[in-house]
């Protein structure tokens, strides 16, 4: 538009239409242009959607370093991108070209564009629609019914509703547990839809005063109903399969094919380390994930009041039946081990929405001092020959009791670990020797909710926490104390960017007062407001101020210092003009970012972080 005119700009669209609108982003208004007929995919959004985890930063420089081991071109000698443009135009051009190269390398590894295409062509939606939940499923169902000559109803917004019941999470057995084996239900929510034939056209009624889940666990069923009954009392026809269960079944079968190919490639890769197998793993992973995303998003759509087929009863039927399924098998597995070992214990040490974690230490004790590798093989064979048939039998009993349309609960052994440590719900570490049939030469740490894998943990501490946890699992307390002492020495030499806490900031206007901050301001916001104040004070215009929604890093400061404050934050690096690097309180940073997360683990198993002086030491 600036170079030529509106007419030329519209030629960017094959239809000659340029959709213009103003979009608010991070508290600022931005002019947006969309050439109609052209799909614009932001790789940042693809990464956020398809990686199923958190990173401390989503800037290209950081993500490229994490994923492909490369960084953007450094222009720190110029201070800012504007100064680079003015002073070294050739490097400015190279900088921008290399950004494109990095995104290309990212996609060569992650293949998210391929994943988007797989989802889009499968659902028959535009590429951009794959970023949503409701649209793909609306189109999938529309096409399915259209093939049968059925016209879908008009959309009618449903009234507001109370929050839906979530999944069941058991209070774990906190501390160290030996020989932990996990069992997972495959695609729980899609299979519940299949099992109870949950679909709009198969719904009959909802039974009043239906049994509680606790009553159902005791095998009590007060209703003699010829139809399939979900755990919340919703009743569904059995004389024909609903369109939702049929779609779930087709997608799940497709996913099984790709997941099997992925696991076969993983098993080959463990032996050969072949680059071809490494690429196949990524490709098949993305294909099976595309199916998994579609399957799991079906429940998300069903629970969305803006979905054409939304119904509170159906959504709750799925979640409550999920609670019943996982609690049912927890009770049955405990009965199995107590009967076999002639004990009265709780062997299911933890459970989540679709998984249980079983302690088999009592069973392993009968094997004597066999090496870990041999014990893993014995457990694997025991699970396959004894546990698996029992799980199938138990779930058949549940399906019979609920008069289900079909028995679709498929629980498989996932992880065999010689040690497992639980801090709290959804917070654990497993020292895994075997995951889904893939046997490892050395155990791998599998973690959830631990600081090492949190986006709020400083980058310098993440790998070190993992190394320390590996020592906890496979070494001694003395080895751990030496490792911590060595890292403390190294930490004292690291720059601000590596030791600071990553955070997001919001409500900066709310906490701003007298140009800086108000009482009670959150620590990261306080640091950001101080940073903006120092930019003005030093008249630094080459660095943009921090805004709401920005990702920042903050660190505590030693006091007294040149600015008279206890914290400082920055979006990228600490400007030299502030003269604050020597005041960074690395001791406090080390304690909060490394020692405290580790101590929360070592305390539950009775280990010490460092040697402590006692009165006996003092008196010799």
Residue-wise pLDDT for 350-369, tens only, equals: 999 999 999 999 999 888 78
Confidence class of residue 396 from pLDDT cuts 50, 70 and 90? very high
Confidence class of residue 25 from pLDDT cuts 50, 70 and 90? low
Rounded to an integer, what distance in angstroms lies between the CA atom of residue 142 and that of residue 404? 27
Which element (helix H / strand E) includes 81?
Answer: helix 81-87
Encode pLDDT of 42-82 as tens digits: 999 899 888 866 676 788 988 998 899 999 998 878 767 88
The whole-number pLDDT of residue 357 equals: 97
Encode pLDDT of 399-430 as tens digits: 999 999 999 999 999 999 999 999 989 889 99
Q: Is pLDDT above 80 for 251?
A: yes
Confidence class of residue 453 from pLDDT cuts 50, 70 and 90? low
Q: What is the mean pLDDT of residues 16-26?
A: 82
Rounded to an integer, what distance in angstroms lies between the CA atom of residue 42 and that of residue 127? 11
Burial 110-130 (b: 16+ CB within 10 A, else e): bbbeebbebbbebbebebbbb
Q: What is the mean pLDDT of residues 588-616?
A: 84
The whole-number pLDDT of residue 573 equals: 82
Q: Mean pLDDT: which of 150-154, 387-391, 506-510 is highest?
A: 387-391
Out of 95-109, 212-226, 516-530, 553-567, least confident range = 212-226
Cβ pair 326, 353 in contact under 8 A: yes
Count of CA atoms in the C-beta half-sphere (13 A) of 394: 22
Rounded to an integer, what distance in angstroms lies between the CA atom of residue 240 and that of residue 557? 68
**In Å, what is the CA distance from 374 to each residue of 62, 300, 370, 416, 553?**
41, 43, 6, 12, 47
Out of 189-198, 452-461, 575-584, least confident range = 452-461
The whole-number pLDDT of residue 283 equals: 78
Confidence class of residue 523 from pLDDT cuts 50, 70 and 90? very high
pLDDT above 90 covers what percent of the chain? 54
Residue 88 has phi, psi (to 5 degrees) of -145, 80
């Amino acid at each position: 538009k600036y170079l030529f005119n509106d007419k030329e700009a519209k030629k960017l669209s094959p239809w000659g239409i340029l959709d213009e609108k103003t979009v608010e982003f991070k508290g600022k208004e931005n002019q947006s242009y969309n050439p109609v007929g052209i799909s614009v995919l932001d790789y940042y959004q693809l990464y956020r959607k398809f990686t199923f985890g958190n990173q401390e930063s989503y800037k290209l420089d950081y993500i490229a370093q994490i994923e492909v081991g490369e960084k953007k071109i450094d222009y720190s000698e110029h201070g800012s991108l504007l100064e680079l443009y003015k002073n070294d135009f050739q490097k400015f051009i190279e900088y921008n070209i290399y950004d494109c190269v990095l995104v290309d390398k990212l996609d060569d590894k992650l293949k998210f564009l391929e994943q988007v295409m797989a989802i889009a062509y499968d659902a028959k939606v535009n590429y951009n629609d794959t970023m949503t939940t409701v649209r793909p499923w609306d189109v999938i169902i529309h096409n399915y019914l259209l093939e049968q000559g059925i016209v879908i109803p008009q959309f009618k917004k449903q009234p507001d509703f109370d929050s839906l019941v979530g999944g069941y999470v058991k209070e774990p057995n906190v501390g160290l547990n030996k020989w932990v084996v996990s069992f997972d239900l495959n695609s729980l929510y899609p299979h519940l839809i299949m099992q109870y034939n949950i679909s709009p056209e198969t719904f009959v009624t909802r039974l009043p005063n239906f049994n509680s889940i606790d009553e159902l666990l005791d095998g009590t069923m007060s209703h003699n109903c010829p139809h399939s009954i979900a755990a919340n009392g919703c009743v569904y026809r059995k004389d024909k399969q609903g369109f939702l269960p049929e779609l779930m079944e087709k997608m799940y079968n497709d996913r099984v094919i790709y997941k099997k190919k992925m696991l076969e490639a993983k098993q080959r890769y463990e032996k050969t380390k072949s680059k071809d197998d490494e690429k196949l793993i990524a490709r098949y992973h993305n294909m099976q994930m595309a199916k998994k995303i579609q399957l799991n998003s079906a429940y998300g759509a069903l629970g969305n009041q803006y979905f054409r087929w939304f119904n509170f009863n159906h959504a709750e039927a799925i979640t409550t039946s999920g609670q019943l399924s996982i609690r049912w098998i927890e009770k049955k597995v405990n009965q199995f081990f107590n009967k076999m070992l002639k004990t009265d214990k709780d062997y299911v040490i933890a459970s989540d929405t679709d998984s249980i974690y079983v302690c088999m230490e009592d069973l392993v004790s009968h094997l004597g001092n066999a090496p870990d590798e041999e014990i893993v093989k014995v457990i694997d064979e025991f699970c396959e020959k004894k546990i698996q048939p029992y799980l199938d039998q138990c779930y058949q009993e549940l399906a019979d009791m609920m008069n289900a349309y079909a028995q679709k609960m498929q629980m498989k052994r996932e992880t065999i670990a010689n040690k497992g440590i639980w801090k709290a719900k959804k917070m654990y570490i497993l020292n895994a020797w075997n995951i889904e049939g893939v046997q490892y030469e050395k155990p791998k740490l599998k973690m959830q909710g631990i600081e090492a894998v949190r986006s709020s943990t400083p980058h310098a501490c993440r790998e070190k926490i993992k190394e320390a946890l590996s020592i906890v699992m496979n070494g001694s307390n003395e080895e751990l104390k030496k490792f911590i002492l060595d890292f403390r020495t190294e930490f004292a030499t690291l720059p601000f960017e590596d030791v600071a806490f990553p955070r997001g900031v919001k409500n900066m206007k709310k906490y701003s007062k007298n140009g800086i901050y108000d009482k009670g301001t959150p620590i990261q916001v306080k640091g950001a407001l101080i940073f903006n104040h120092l930019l003005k004070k030093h008249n630094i215009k080459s660095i943009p101020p921090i805004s709401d929604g920005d990702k920042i890093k903050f660190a505590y400061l030693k006091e007294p210092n040149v600015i008279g404050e206890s914290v400082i934050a920055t979006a990228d690096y600490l400007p030299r003009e502030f003269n604050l690097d020597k005041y960074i309180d690395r001791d406090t940073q080390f304690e909060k970012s490394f020692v405290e997360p580790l101590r929360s683990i070592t305390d539950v198993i009775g280990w010490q972080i460092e040697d402590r002086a006692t009165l006996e030491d003092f008196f010799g």
